[in-house]
Amino acid sequence: MTKGSKTDDEVDTGMQDKAQYHAPLLRTLITTAQRAAFPLGVLIVWQIVSVVGFVRRDTLPAPLDVLAVWYDLVTGQTHEAGRYSGTWFGHAAASTWRVFVGFAWGAGLGIFMGLLIGLSRVFERVFDPTIQVMRNVPVTAWVPLSLVFFGIGNGPAIFLIGLGAFFPAAINTTHGVRQINATFYKWARMMGANETELLIRVILPAALPSIFTGIRLSMGIAWVLVVVAEILAVRSGLGYLLNDAYLFYRNDVVIAAMLSIGLLGFCSDQLVVLLRSYLLGWNTKETFGGQD
């Protein structure tokens, strides 16, 4: 063997190192392709249907038309969106603020009530029947009363959003507390834990998976209800933009507003998922995470 030549073991090791280096990149590309396949397919079919003329383009604008209008909504450079040109950031900021304020009080109160009901049979008998009755009342049915009590403005919008966010958080928190293995509770008692330590070190950690499920549902409902709230109570936000564009038959702006709400809702959900992953890293080793 000449000087400087590599042995078969060294070559194999180098190939393995390269394979290990490229494997995460390949998995990332495959995952990204899988996630993008369905929405891209929908957009392609939608574009073809609009261009061929199966549907009138003023009724269902093509994706490229919507993209052009969306770009103008954000930048205000092309005036494709007409009177709505350059207004996206103002409307998006208003909607995001209302969603997070309403979500904060609704989900926060829901988690608190869920803990009380889950921990105490007395609280369950006092509050749970009322919650179960009220959660079956559509949030839109509260619109007249919210306008009477809060008037026109942010008040009724935040109230309606928080009301919708309350029930998923309360019910899932109650379930999370009630499904805790009783053995954990007994062990903590035997080791001398007091009520505060039981709550912080046993009950809350064990209930967090269900609590985060409720939080994700509450966040999604908050973005759904922002449209209803802004149509009826305020003159800003993506819900208001959507309704106003509908009145002027600007379906391209309507679709752009719809997609904006969906994407902002998705980003909000991902923030919750990241927080859940940070706080519940231990739980991923004990649960079924699906198969590739």
Q: For 96-143, what is each residue's pLDDT tens digit?
A: 999 999 999 999 999 999 999 998 999 999 999 999 999 999 988 998
Residue 34 above 70 pLDDT? yes
- 169 and 105 in contact (C-beta within 8 Å)? no
Residue 21 above 80 pLDDT? no
Instruction: For the chain, give the mean pLDDT.
Output: 87
Question: Using CA atoms, how far apart are residues 257 and 139, in angstroms rounded to an integer?
Answer: 22
Q: For residue 7, what are the CA distances in angstroms to 15, 16, 21?
A: 13, 14, 21
Q: Find the mean pLDDT for residues 11-31.
A: 66
178 CB contacts (<8 Å, ≥6 apart)? 118
pTM for this model (two decimals): 0.84
Q: Give the phi and the psi of residue 59 in degrees, each rounded to 5.
A: -85, -50
Could you identify the residue written with the tokens 């927080």?
275
Question: Using CA atoms, how far apart are residues 193 and 185, in angstroms rounded to an integer?
Answer: 9
Q: Find the mean pLDDT for residues 52-81.
A: 90
The yes or no reply on domain 82-281 and CATH 1.10.3720.10 is yes
Higher-scoring residue by pLDDT: 287, 2: 287
Band (pLDDT 50/70/90 cuts) for residue 65 is: very high
Higher-scoring residue by pLDDT: 191, 206: 206
Greatest mean pLDDT among 143-157, 202-216, 260-274: 260-274
Greatest mean pLDDT among 2-6, 68-72, 278-282: 68-72
For CA atoms 14, 20, 25, 27, the dihedral sign is positive
Q: Find the mean pLDDT for residues 18-30.
A: 72
At 143-176, the pLDDT tens digits run: 889 988 888 889 999 999 999 999 999 999 999 9
